[in-house]
């Protein structure tokens, strides 16, 4: 019985040491210093067809990627909805800037609701983009997945 | 004494098994796959009286609620402040759209600071809305409560 | 041996009571009621030179600081980038409002990318502001540090 009690106590010790260690590695509990080692995800939001706003957003993404505090550690997705669909139109002026960002790993995502509501033909958009069910759903889900969001 | 020690060890076991289980259910530690099962909260922000912006925001809320990834799992609050108070004015054109969203569970919240600063009579706003001390405080507190925020 | 087992069980108890208490104090696990006791951080974002937008943002910061739910518990940083640099220009009309906010603990931060890209002389900006490598990096990093963000 004595040995049994000893084993039970040892088991109790093992059972809780493991979760305690796992918890220390949870990203949510990282301190500022530890945060410098980790990976970042950011969702950029564009819902305007204003040329200055579009160019500013694309430049902002590049600035974030090149920020010395984030360089090599940042993954970016750009989601366009509403008037923001303009950035992905073949007749627009953003093809090269988009390809440059895509070459740096940026995911380009168009809201499917927008093109359905506006009866936009996918053939009029660049073939190298991807689609999400709704831009607004994407914004909410990404935040719940821990992503930062930026709406310049 | 042996029994006493055994009981103590058993007690130690019970005391920690419970928090460990509770911790596994903490939304902050959900993985992507588990996240699909959970509940989402989103705060929509409106601080413009531009008709296109207002209609776009109300439509965006509906798009998020209907997103197949969020359907039946999303609770939304719309907070208006500054010029955004226009959406709740009786003389505006948004009563039906607001009632439709409210019927889907959307909470409609007006910033009290705005109506005090602008000397707006509550009688000029729809009787079915609610009030928060400040729209800006709401934005900050909701994020600390884990809500997603969307400012179309 | 009996005593030894007892001590081991007691040790196991102590080893896990402490982490359990620490965990209860983790901000990420606070419930609504407990949240009222804690500290809040908010990053305000300004990337417009529109006078109404600038004044609105500065007033919004003050409203958040004075919100009864946040009063005495909120730390604010204002980051300006792109056209938002206007708020920190010596030839602008915002010196007193900025000094009032700074007196309430608000940190005033300018994006270094913006002044480099636009060839703005730091001597043309108020001497009492600080600088961050990029406004966009700041927005992402602060969110990963748990800060709320507000872009009025």
Question: Tens of pLDDT along C110-127?
Answer: 999 999 999 999 999 999
Indicate the SS3 state at residue B39: coil
pLDDT at A26: 39
Sign of torsion over alpha carbons C150, A50, C93, B110: negative
- In this prediction, residues B25-47 reach a mean pLDDT of 68
pLDDT at A4: 58
Give the pair of three-digit tokens for residue A28: 């949510």
pTM of the model: 0.78
Give A38's pLDDT tier (boundaries 50, 70, 90).
Answer: confident
Residue A101 buriedness (CB in 10 A; 0-12 / 13-18 / 19+):
buried
pLDDT at A41: 98
Kindly report which listed range (A9-13, B15-19, B94-98) carries the lowest average pLDDT score: B15-19
In terms of phi and psi (left: phi > 0; alpha: psi -120 to 50; beta: otherwise), the region of A32 is: alpha
Percentage of residues in chain B having pLDDT higher than 70: 76
Mark yes or no for CB contact B9/A4 under 8 Å: no
pLDDT at B25: 36
pLDDT at C38: 84
Mark yes or no for CB contact C82/A56 under 8 Å: yes
Give C18's pLDDT tier (boundaries 50, 70, 90).
Answer: very low
- In this prediction, residues C39-44 reach a mean pLDDT of 98
pLDDT at A18: 38
Quick check: C47 contacting A, CB < 8 Å? yes
Residue B9 has pLDDT above 90, yes or no: no
pLDDT at A2: 53
Residue B10 has pLDDT above 60, yes or no: no
- Is pLDDT larger for residue A2 or for residue C44? C44
Question: pLDDT tens digits, residue range C50-108?
Answer: 999 999 999 999 999 999 999 999 999 999 999 999 999 999 999 999 999 999 999 99
pLDDT at A105: 97
Question: pLDDT tens digits, residue range B67-121?
Answer: 999 999 999 999 999 999 999 999 999 999 999 999 999 999 999 999 999 999 9
Using a CB-CB cut-off of 8 Å, the residues of chain B touching C74 are 140
Give the pair of three-digit tokens for residue B134: 């400040």
pLDDT at B40: 98
Residue B22 has pLDDT above 70, yes or no: no
Residue A32 has pLDDT above 90, yes or no: no
Rounded to whole angstroms, what are the CA distances from B39 to B53, C35, C146? 27, 20, 20
- Share the mean pLDDT of chain A: 85
- Give the nearest chain C residue to A26 (CA atoms): C28
Contact at 8 Å (CB) between C80 and C47? yes
Tell me how far apart the alpha carbons of residues A36 and C137 are, in angstroms, rounded to a whole number. 12
Residue B2 has pLDDT above 70, yes or no: no
pLDDT at C19: 38
Contact at 8 Å (CB) between C126 and C90? yes
- Residue B39 CA from chain centroid, whole number: 11
Give the pair of three-digit tokens for residue C3: 């005593």
pLDDT at B15: 46
DSSP tag of B151:
-
Paired with C130 in beta bridges are: C109
- In this prediction, residues A23-52 reach a mean pLDDT of 71
Q: What angle do CA A151, A48, A133 make, to 5 degrees?
A: 75
- In this prediction, residues B18-45 reach a mean pLDDT of 58
**DSSP conformation letters of C73-133:** TEEEEEEE-GGGGGGGBTTSS-HHHHHHHHHTT-EEEEEHHHHHHTT--GGGB-TT-EEES
Taking only residues 121 to 150 of chain B, the set having a beta carbon closer than 8 angstroms to any beta carbon of chain C reads 133-137, 139-141, 143-145
- What are the φ/ψ torsions at residue A75 (nearest 5 degrees)? -110, 130
Contact at 8 Å (CB) between A137 and A31? no
In terms of phi and psi (left: phi > 0; alpha: psi -120 to 50; beta: otherwise), the region of B38 is: beta
Residue B141 has pLDDT above 50, yes or no: yes
- Give the nearest chain C residue to B16 (CA atoms): C16
Using a CB-CB cut-off of 8 Å, the residues of chain A touching B148 are 139-140, 143-144
- Share the mean pLDDT of chain B: 85
pLDDT at B26: 40
- Is pLDDT larger for residue B25 or for residue A120? A120
A-to-C residue pairs, Cβ atoms closer than 8 angstroms: 82
Helices (H), chain A: 2-24, 32-35, 51-66, 95-103, 112-117, 135-144
Tell me how far apart the alpha carbons of residues A101 and A59 are, in angstroms, rounded to a whole number. 9
- Give the nearest chain C residue to B18 (CA atoms): C20
pLDDT at C28: 42
CB pairs under 8 A, 24+ apart, for B88-93?
A: B88/B125, B88/B126, B88/B129, B89/B124, B89/B125, B90/B124, B90/B125, B90/B126, B91/B124, B93/B51
Residue C88 buriedness (CB in 10 A; 0-12 / 13-18 / 19+):
buried
- Share the mean pLDDT of chain C: 85
Question: pLDDT tens digits, residue range A68-105?
Answer: 999 999 999 999 999 999 999 999 999 999 999 999 99
Tell me how far apart the alpha carbons of residues A68 and A72 are, in angstroms, rounded to a whole number. 9
């Amino acid at each position: 019985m004595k040995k049994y009690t000893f084993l039970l106590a040892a088991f109790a010790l093992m059972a809780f040491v493991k979760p305690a260690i796992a918890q220390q590695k949870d990203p949510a509990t990282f301190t500022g210093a530890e945060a410098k080692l980790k990976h970042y995800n950011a969702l950029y939001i564009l819902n305007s067809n204003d040329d200055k706003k579009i160019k500013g957003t694309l430049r902002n993404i590049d600035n974030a990627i090149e920020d010395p505090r984030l360089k090599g550690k940042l993954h970016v997705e750009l989601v366009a909805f509403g008037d923001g669909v303009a950035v992905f139109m073949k007749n627009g002026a953003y093809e090269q800037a988009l390809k440059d960002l895509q070459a740096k790993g940026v995911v380009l995502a168009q809201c499917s609701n927008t093109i359905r509501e506006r009866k936009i033909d996918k053939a009029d958009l660049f073939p190298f983009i991807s689609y999400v069910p709704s831009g607004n759903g994407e914004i909410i889900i990404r935040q719940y997945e821990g992503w930062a969001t930026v709406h310049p």
